[in-house]
Amino acid sequence: MQTIDRKKFFDGYRQRFGRLRTAQVPAIEFILTSLERDRHIEDIRWGAYMLATTKWETGDTFRPIKEYGTRQYFIKRYGSQTAVGKILGNDTPEEGADYAGRGHTQNTGKNNYEMLERELPKAYPEVIARWEVQHGRKFDLTVGDQANDEHDPDALLDPEISYIAMSYAMRNGKYTGKRLSHYINSATCNYLLARKIINGQDQAKRIADFAETFEWILRRAA
């Protein structure tokens, strides 16, 4: 995506969304820089929808976060004994907690963690190599396949890993089978239905409104 004038962006953000908290600024800066460097993001509207999704999914922090709740809450909500847990690919009740939502897009469930563990090293080898050097271990998002790996899913809390997971999955329809190009392309832009990329139509109108606002801000700052 083209370079974004930071002053114009943040002025526009304050004008349309209101006050910016101090902690939001570097988190948004990181996403903007990532969008500018991402050769796969050529449409400013894709960037707008990614920012809108992040605003909602991270509770307005714009940081990759872990879903709020206790371990027992996640076991009860996502464990293998639940219908949702089965859809997510969790094989045990405990995996409901192991694979609770993390990241800019709240990646949830063993199926998504395994998919990202498999696909990200192929799609972004330089990012994964950098992460492995920094952490001194093999990149892994799942539990039980290397020593002392109970915290491996937390790699999705790393901003760079979280961003590439968001970009890859939203562009390629890896969450629900729906991708950005289905709803935002040369012929149409349907921010409302684009919510199907992530999670059915949950909060679709709110996020669509955010996306329209971010598109206005980005065009003003481009």
pLDDT of residue 149: 84
- Whats the size of the chain, residue-wise? 222
pLDDT of residue 128: 98
DSSP string, 153-199: GGGGGSHHHHHHHHHHHHHHTTTTS--HHHHBSSS-B-TTGGGGGTS
pLDDT of residue 1: 87
What is the model's pTM?
A: 0.95
Mean pLDDT by groups of 10 residues along the chain of 222 residues: 95 96 96 96 96 97 97 97 97 97 97 97 97 95 85 97 98 97 97 95 96 98 94
End-to-end CA distance of the chain: 9
Q: How many angstroms separate the Cα of 9 from the Cα of each of 4, 6, 41, 209?
A: 7, 5, 18, 17
Beta bridge partners of 107: 102
pLDDT of residue 172: 97
Which residues are within 8 A (CB) of 118 and not within 5 positions of it... i.e. 6 or more apart? Answer: none
Do the beta carbons of residue 141 and residue 156 sit within 8 Å? yes
Do the beta carbons of residue 66 and residue 157 sit within 8 Å? yes
pLDDT of residue 88: 97
Rounded to 10 degrees, the C-alpha dihedral 177/51/166/122 comes to: 110
Q: Taking Cα atoms as reference points, which of 142, 71, 152, 150 lies closest to residue 109?
A: 142
Between CA 136 and CA 146, with CA 140 as vertex, the angle to 5 degrees is 80
Q: How many of the other CB atoms lie within 10 Å of CB of 76?
A: 16
Burial category of 23 from C-beta neighbours within 10 Å (exposed 0-12, middle 13-18, buried 19 and up): exposed
